[in-house]
Structure 1
Amino acid sequence: MEDLGTPVLDNHLHLDPANGRGIDAVRDFRRLGGTHLLVVNKPSWHLGVEADEGEDFRAVFEETLSTVADADAELPGRAWPVLGVHPGLITRLTDERGFSPAEARDLMCAGLDAAAEYVRGGEALALKSGRPHYEVSDAVWDASNDVLKHALSLGAELDCAVQLHTEATDDLTDVAEWAEERGMDPENVVKHYAGGTLAGPTPSVMSEKDRLRTAAEEGAPFLMETDFVDDPDRPGAVMGPKTVPRRVRWMLEEGFEAAVENAHVETPRRVYGVDTRETLSR
């Protein structure tokens, strides 16, 4: 097992032991020097859950908690669950299941309420929400933003971070303002699949060298991720589980030691309240 001399956190990936690589992916991550994971539940319909009420999402969340417990046992650090409702669900509900945008909004908010109970009870670290990254009608866009705002309200209430799946952009100051209006620090809002810079929330930077070099030179708080989807029909998508440790090694070789400390120690502490160094010694 490689030791890179630093905590190594992948801030956003999925694990699917039933259908994908599951814990084997965690072992690959660990072998190359990975220490910590934030595991996000897969979209509910990918796990065969077609929800009609908020409580229906619990099957997804429980499966994720079980997977994270197994991942946690494999790591020299920790694995933490991030639970929520994928924003793409709104299209599945409105286009395929006959929901109105308002009905879809209410169901998705109820799913977030169920996820929030796991954060409240200390079983999950953060929430996941967002809005579609593709063209939708004005009614669906407005409903999606209502869901996102509800997630921010829960984040403020629970004092937890909220990871967001959104359109590709380097400016989410609108979301940062919504967070502040609800009493949430925008730094605790994380845009997953981000580029190297972002106005507003904290970027979780996709681990491509160009994006990471930009983030490192910028010097602002950032995280690193792969968005590994653990789908046997899409092997390696979006990035494989070995990517973050490999990129950390590259960053250290390039002289970006301060950026590695930023992404893997300082920003996790600021955003999530976790100590990646202390949890290495358990």
Structure 2
Amino acid sequence: MDIDDTPVLDNHLHLDPVNGRNVEAAAEFADHGGTHLLVLNKPSWHLVEKATDEATFREVFDLTVEAAADASDVLDGRAWPVLGVHPALVSKLVGDGHTPEEARDVMQAGLDVAAEYVAEGRALAMKSGRPHYEVDDAVWAASNEVMRHGFERAAEAGCAIQLHTEGGEDFEEVAQWAEERGLDRTQVVKHYSGGRLTGPVKSVLADKDEVEIAVAEDEPFLMETDYIDDPDRPGAVLGPKTVPRRVRWLLENGHDDAVRTAHVETPKSVYGIDTEATLER
């Protein structure tokens, strides 16, 4: 199989319509064979300001919805917005003098708005999580409450949720939290995952070694770059052309089935999207 015979989805990429390359980054992805994008909103303080109310979240989400629509114009497939609250907001708010509980309430309100956008058909899925760095017990507890609230909202909206969390391979407890709130673990995606994961669906950073592990594990997986579209950090985390390059490499090495898993079957089972039917070359 050739790359022209398959959809190519980057499951987690940021576009910055305020400070970044925005559509130019999506065009670079397309030029290298990419067809579909899930565009995650950047942290509110990167686009507007630290979010302390619903109005700021709406401003950030509207910018992201617009960026995804503009990206769709340069893709043979399309882009979908994924909206939510970056878990580091808790530290920003606590640093400004809010209690962890007040920060939790702000972040849960943001997730309520994200769920509203999904329910209205303006976004595909949600994003939540917990800090990937050391925090005190009160902040950790508040962060877990935020994430569990995200599961409830995603279950009500009937959508998947991407998680930004600490590293590791065992997230069985997190998957159980989702299921206790009515959200199937197959709708919970761990962004920035390695090739092995227990619990949620893995969205594997498009690093050759980790992708090879994911292929060998022979489980549902997605591929992502976590490109952050920051002119001050142009290569962070991986560039927009990386997923298409990895797909070419997989195909050259005979891993057609793995490519279908990551770019057709898993997107359909997790998000309900059809990357083949939405592809026009």
Residue 160, structure 1, aligned to residue 172, structure 2? no
Give secondary structure in 1 for the equivalent of 2:202. strand
The 5-angstrom pairing of residues 184-195 of structure 1 reads 184-195=183-194
Deviations 1:209-242 (A, max 9, x none): 1100010111100000000000011011000000
The corresponding residue for 1:91 is 91
Deviates more, 1:51-60 or 1:109-118: 51-60
Counterpart position of 1:110: 109
Structure 1 partner of 2:129: 130
TM-superposition CA deviations, 1:26-56 (whole Å, max 9, x none): 1110011100000000000111222222232
Shift of 1:103: 0.1
Give the letter for the 1:73 counterpart: D
1:219 matched to 2:218? The reply is yes
Gaps of at least 5 residues in structure 2 are: none
Question: Is 1:67 aligned to 2:67, yes or no?
Answer: yes
State the secondary structure of the residue aligned to 1:281. coil
Alpha-carbon distance in structure 1 between the residues aligned to 2:113 and 2:98: 20
Inter-partner Cα distance in structure 2 for 1:133 and 1:121: 31
**1:237 equivalent in structure 2:** 236
Q: Which residue of 2 aligns with 1:8?
A: 8
CA distance in 1, matches of 2:236, 2:64: 19
Deviation, 1:18, is 2.5
RMSD across aligned positions (CA)? 1.1
Report what 2:54 is aligned to.
Answer: 54
Q: Distance in 1 between matches of 2:87 and 2:224?
A: 19
Residue aligned with 2:163, SS: strand
Measure how far apart 1:64 and its partner are. Answer: 0.5
CA contact 2:44–2:60 (8 Å) conserved in 1: yes
For 1:190-209, what aligned pairs fall within 5 Å after superposition?
A: 190-209=189-208
Instruction: Give the TM-score, by structure 1 length.
Output: 0.97
Instruction: Confirm whether residue 41 of structure 1 aligns to residue 41 of structure 2.
Output: yes
Kept in 2: contact 1:49–1:57 (CA 8 A): no
> 2:182 matched to which residue of 1?
183
Conserved 8 A contact 2:119-2:157: yes
- The answer to whether the 8 A contact 1:265-1:276 is kept is yes
Q: Which runs of 4+ in 1 moved over 3 A?
A: none
User: Partner of 2:49: helix, strand, or coil?
Assistant: coil
After superposition, the C-alpha distances for 1:117-163 in whole angstroms (9 at most, x for unaligned) are 10000010000000000000000000000000000001111110000
State the TM-score, normalized to the length of structure 2.
0.98
Check the 8 A contact 1:84/1:111 in 2, yes or no.
yes
**In 2, Cα distance between the equivalents of 1:145 and 1:55?**
24
**C-alpha contact (below 8 Å) 1:55/1:114 kept by paired residues:** no
CA distance, structure 1, for counterparts of residue 63 and residue 86 of structure 2: 16
Question: Percent of aligned positions with the same letter in both sequences?
Answer: 62
Amino acid corresponding to residue 53 of structure 2 in structure 1:
E
